[in-house]
Structure 1
Amino acid sequence: MGFSQLHLNKNTSLQVTKTKLDSLQRAGVELMIHMCPNCHIQYDRYQPVIEKEYGVEYDMVHMNIAQFVALTMGVKRVTA
C-alpha cells in the first residue's frame, strides 16, 4: 500500500511508509536492501520527505539489490 498509492493518495502512502519506518527503527534496522524497485523508491526517496513533514529522523540506509551486490564486489561509489 505504499508506492502503489503514492499518486492516488499521497498522504496515506506516506503515513503507511512512516509506520513501517517507525517499526524498522524500533527494531534497530540500519540497512534495508530492496528487491522491489518501487519499494526502494518509496523508502529512499520519501524517507527525507517523511522526516521533514513529521519532524522525525531515521538513521537507516536504503539500497536496491544491484547496489548492494556492486558494493560487495568492490565497486567504488560513484557520485554525480
Structure 2
Amino acid sequence: MTDLKMLNQDEVAELINVSRDQVAMLREVGIIRATKTGKCYIFSQQEIKSFQELYKGLDVSNKVKALESYKTVNGIN
C-alpha cells in the first residue's frame, strides 16, 4: 500500500538528492510528470522510479540539457 503514497516536491527533491527548483524544472520540461492539486504538485513513486530508469546516465542538470535528454528518451529529433 505504500506505493500509493504520493510525494510532494520537497520529498522528491530529498529522495533524488536535488533542489526543489530542480524538481520544478524537471516537471516543467516533462521529465517527471506530476498531478496538480490546488497550488501544489504531487508525484507518484512509480513516476520517480521511471525517471531513474529512463534517464540513467543522461545529464539533466539544467533546462537545456534536460530538454536534450527528454528528446533522446522520447526519440524526438
TM-score computed with the length of structure 1 as normaliser: 0.29
Q: Which has the larger radius of gyration?
A: 1
TM-score computed with the length of structure 2 as normaliser: 0.29
